[in-house]
């Protein structure tokens, strides 16, 4: 089973930051407490790009990452962020060295 690294970049629309830190905190805590296979789940605010957040995650497998994305706490986060998100990119990486 190969570990998977996910880098997710979320850009919010201007003026749509209210409640976001609380939503990110809740997702971060629930993921660390409840999601099997989560080795790293860090959330960063980009210092140079306005309204931009970057998740850096490491999972034991792609299957466990998919399981996380199907959990209630992830669904709640997605529902809250919904119309606040201007764009989102996902990079799935496999460590080779």
DSSP code string of 41-94:
EEEEE-SSSTTEEEEEEEES-HHHHHHHHTSHHHHHHHHHHGGGEEEEEEEEE-
pTM (predicted TM-score) = 0.90
What per-residue confidence (pLDDT) applies to 96? 81
Q: For residues 89 and 50, give the distance between their C-alpha atoms in angstroms, rounded to a whole number.
A: 16
Number of domains, the chain: 1
pLDDT tens per residue across span 37-46: 999 999 999 9
Range of the structural domain that residue 73 is part of: 4-93
CATH of the domain at 42: 3.30.70.100
């Amino acid at each position: 089973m190969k570990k998977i690294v996910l880098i997710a970049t979320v850009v919010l629309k201007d003026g749509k930051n209210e409640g976001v830190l609380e939503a990110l905190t809740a997702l971060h805590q629930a993921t660390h407490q409840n999601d099997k296979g989560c080795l790293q789940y860090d959330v960063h605010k980009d210092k140079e790009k306005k309204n931009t957040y970057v998740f850096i995650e490491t999972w034991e497998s792609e299957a466990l990452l998919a399981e996380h994305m199907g959990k209630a706490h992830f669904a709640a986060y997605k529902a809250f962020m919904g119309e606040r998100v201007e764009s989102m990119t996902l990079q799935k990486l496999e460590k080779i060295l």
